[in-house]
Structure formats: C-alpha cells, structure tokens
Chains A and B, each alone.
Chain A
Amino acid sequence: MDTEITLRVDGAAHPLTVDTRTTLLDALRERLRNTSPKKGCDHGQCGACTVLLDGRRVNSCLVLAVTVGDAEVTTSNGLATDGQPHPLHRSFVRRDAFQCGYCTPGQICSAAGVLEEARAGWPSAVTADLTAAVELTDTEIRERMSGNLCRCAAYAHIVPAVADVAAAEGVRR
C-alpha cells in the first residue's frame, strides 16, 4: 500500500513514496540509494543497519518507514560535518577497527549512541554499581557495542577506536 512520506536524512528532507511495508533501512537503501546504512540480516540481529533516529541508535531494519514521521535520521555519512570526518571516522581508520568495512557505518552510529548514552549516565549490563557515574572502560565499551556484529572480528580494534573518542570527550579517564 503506497504512502507519501518525507524522510529527514542527514539534514535534508526527502519526499518519497513508500509501501507501508517498507522499512526505514529499505527506504534509505532502495528508495534513496543511501549506501551508508547496511543490511546484514534484516532482523535486528547484526546491527549493520544502525542509524540514529532523533539521536538514538536504532536498527533501521525493524523500523517501518511510515512510522518515522518527522524524526531526524542520521547515518554514519551524516555524522560528518562540513565535509569533515567525525572523530569516530578518524579513530576507526587510525585503529584499523574494521576489515571489510560492511558493518562499519553501523558500528560508528552505534558508537555515537554509546557516547551519548554514557554522557547521559546510562548503565549497562556490566555496570557493577547501577547508581554510580558511568565511565566507558574497555569492558563497558565491549558490552555496549555488542549489538553490532563484526564477522571480520575487529572487536579488539573497535574498543580502542571508541575509547579514544570517549577519552577526548570526557566519558573515559
């Protein structure tokens, strides 16, 4: 069933026609041909499709496009500002935090979400004291980034890539 919507993606508004069945991921990839979010499973089991929806990381494969409304969609590509790479872009390259690169934009959106959640003081499953201030230790980063599978298994490089930016932003000592 076709429906007219307007998607706000990386700062630009895109009027488009979608099927009610169209996911946000497919709207981005197949309708708008935005290559930043990736499809790795289409069932919320890998995290490759992670985007920020009004600043919160979500699996875009499980969000129906018709439900997005005027929420702002940010992809990894959209994290760059004025053509300059985001600090996470730089740290992922510097730490070689990927190999094939297919899960990487999702990892980076997820990492951006992790930093924001840590700033907000959100605990994780490995936070020993639920009421203490959050610090992004390696253990915390590992747990918080576990919704993004990397079959090349660059995990041990993803952790320092996120940690570098966390330290620069004050959520890690």
Chain B
Amino acid sequence: MKEFRYERSPDPAAAVALLAREPGGAFLGGGTNLVDLMKLGVATPDVLVDVRELTSAEVSDLPDGGLRIGAGVPNADLAADRRVRERYPVLAQALLAGASGQLRNRATTGGNLLQRTRCGYFTDVTRPCNKRSPGSGCGALHGVHRNHAILGQTFEGPGACVATHPSDMAVALVALDAVVRVLGPDGERSLPIGELHRLPGNDPSRDTTLRHGELITAVDLPPLDLPSRYRKVRERASYAFALVSVAAALRVEDGVVADVRLALGGVAHTPWRARAAEETLLGRPATEEAFAAAAGAELAAATPLRDNGFKVPLARNVVVRTLLDLSGGTR
C-alpha cells in the first residue's frame, strides 16, 4: 500500500473543500472496497479524507412518502430499517444478498454505490486493464471472463472493457428510480441514479459521472406503491458476487401489467435498467409468455463473450421467474 495522509474534517463541506485541493486524494467511507484496492495497489490515494462519520447515518422520511438514506448509513442498518423492509423489500433483499454480515456492518450506502468491479484483471496490477491503466488493454476480453458483461461492453480501442458492476444494492436503487444527492466544490446537486454509473464507452477508468471532490451525501427513494423483490444467482449459496441478479417491481391490475420496474445486475458495467423490457410489458397481460418476450426484448441487445453466453438464458429465466413470483403466477 502506498503511503498516504489521513485527514478528518469537521463537516461535509470542509471535506469536499479539502479533497478538491488534493487531486490524488480520495474519500474513505467504510473502506471495505477502497482499503482492499489500496492493498492491491489498484487505488493509490496520497490523501484519505474520512467521511464515514461525516455524512448522515440516518434514514428519514420524506414528505412525499419516500425515504432519504444518509450516505453514511451502513448496509446492514439500511437492510434492517423497518421502513425499508416494509416498503422497499427489493432494496432490503438486495442488501442482504450482498457480501457478508461483517462487510454489511461496515460498508456505507455511498461507498456501496462507488464499488469498483471485481474483474480479476482490474484487481491485478500486473495485468492489462483499461479501467485501471488506460490504454493497457482488456485482459478479460479474451481471458477468464465467465462472470463478465453481456451488455454494453466496449470491445475495441482504448475503451475496451467487459467488466461488470458488483453492487447488489445499486441494482435495486436503479429499479427504484432513486435520486443521488451530491455535494461538490460548486455546491449541491442531485442526479437520477441512472445517470450516476456509466458504460465504459471510450473511458472505462471512469465508473461514474461524479467529478473529483464530489461527495455522495444521501440517496432519496421515491415512494413505491407496488410489490417488489430481488433475486440473485451466484456460484455458491452465499458470500459471492452475482452471476446475474434481478430487481423487479410489478403491479398487475385485471391481469394486465399496470406498472413495472426492472433492473439487472451482473450483466453490464452499470446496474442495467431494463427499459426495453419494461416498455414491452406495460399494458400487456401478465403472463409467462409476456414476461419471456419482455426479457427477450431486453436481451436481444446482448453481445456475450466466448464463455459467458449462459448469462443470456440465465437472465431471461430469472426475469421471468421473478416477475411470475411478483404477479402471484405459477407455472
């Protein structure tokens, strides 16, 4: 691990101002990902500004019936929050499907959103990786990539990257149309969570649209008035990243899909909002055939790699099953 200076600040604004002056610095939240990456030499900040206890660790009610989640709320506490369990089961389930009890106790809401990929070429500084070392190539493209992206990858040029986003929580938040509140050197701004993460494009080194010095202070959840759930498929029963996951919310009225939210994890560089599937479903009968057609519509764009083609039928099946479960249907 490279040497660094450790700093605390009296308030978020001071932390932001401090980091803005340190181009090689980084915010430290729970550290469950950043400290790991620093040990690997993947992250090499020269200053760490500790914000774990600086941003709110509270979950509060919003006037519209939604919730505001402080960026410092640990994943475990958020999953245990009674309002989240009752009103946003998809979020509680996503959080509980992630990592381990120990990690969830330490990881924060803000930090979870900013997790970096677990691609084995990204985390190994002796291998090429355009995300870690722009221009060095993508080791995974023709390497070991069974658990890599099937959607939205960049295959050629300095942007080549087939990594996935590892967060479960973020997949649920994307389905929930959460809003991310950010404090930066130029003040506060809010952005829809769908605009936080970005596809690799020609610069996979940037996971998000945040600028240096911008600090996530909270995540706002709009009210959710439809049943929701999260389903994660992984290579062992617990404590593993997703092969594919689905965050879904569905309301069926008179046998017809009245409202639907669908997001996929483990398939792309971002949590993947399945807009094509949603559009296909709205107003259609809530049947297995319709769910399969919707999944097919979303996955038609899939461009699987040599060894991860299984994710296409897997994602389709999990979408169908999750929607069936939500609609109370069986097969």
Q: Which residues of A contact B (CB under 8 A)?
A: 1, 3, 19-21, 23, 42-44, 47, 50, 56-59, 62-64, 66-67, 110, 113-114, 117, 120-125, 127, 130-131, 142-144, 146-149
Contact = CB atoms under 8 A, between A and B. Distances in A.
A43 B36 contact: yes
Contacts of A21: 1, 3-4, 38
10 contacts: A21-B38, A44-B36, A58-B106, A63-B31, A64-B35, A110-B101, A125-B238, A131-B86, A146-B100, A147-B102
Contacts of A147: 99-103, 238-239
Most buried by B among A21, A42, A44: A44
Contacts of A57: 101-102, 105
B146 to A, nearest CB: 18
Nearest to A22: B1
B97 interface: yes
A170 B238 CA distance: 26
A63 B319 CA distance: 37
B83 to A, nearest CB: 11
Contact of B96 (A44, A123, A149): A123
Interface stretch (B74-82, B215-223, B282-290, B296-304): B74-82
A148 B99 CA distance: 11
Contact of B5 (A20, A42, A114, A127): A20
A115 B329 CA distance: 36
Contacts of A149: 239
Interface in B1-33: 1, 3-6, 28, 30-32
Interface residues of B, number: 38
Nearest to B104: A147
Contacts of B237: 142-143, 146
Interface string B139-160: 0000000000000000000000
Interface centre among B3, B30, B102 (most CB of A within 10 A): B102
Given A1-B6, A62-B31, A113 B102 contact: yes
B321 interface: no
Contact of A1 (B4, B50, B96, B103): B4
B89 interface: yes
B36 A67 contact: no
B264 to A, nearest CB: 19
A66 B102 contact: no
B6 A3 contact: yes
B80 A120 contact: yes
B36 A62 contact: yes
A50 B102 contact: yes
A64 B3 CA distance: 13
B52 interface: yes
A125 B100 CA distance: 10
Greatest chain B CB density within 10 A among A64, A125, A142, A146 is at: A125
B32 A59 contact: yes
Taking each of B40, B80, B89, B239, which has the highest tally of chain A beta carbons within 10 Å of its own beta carbon? B239
Contacts of A143: 237-238
B306 interface: no
A124 B36 contact: no
Given A43-B36, A123-B80, A143-B238, A113 B101 contact: yes
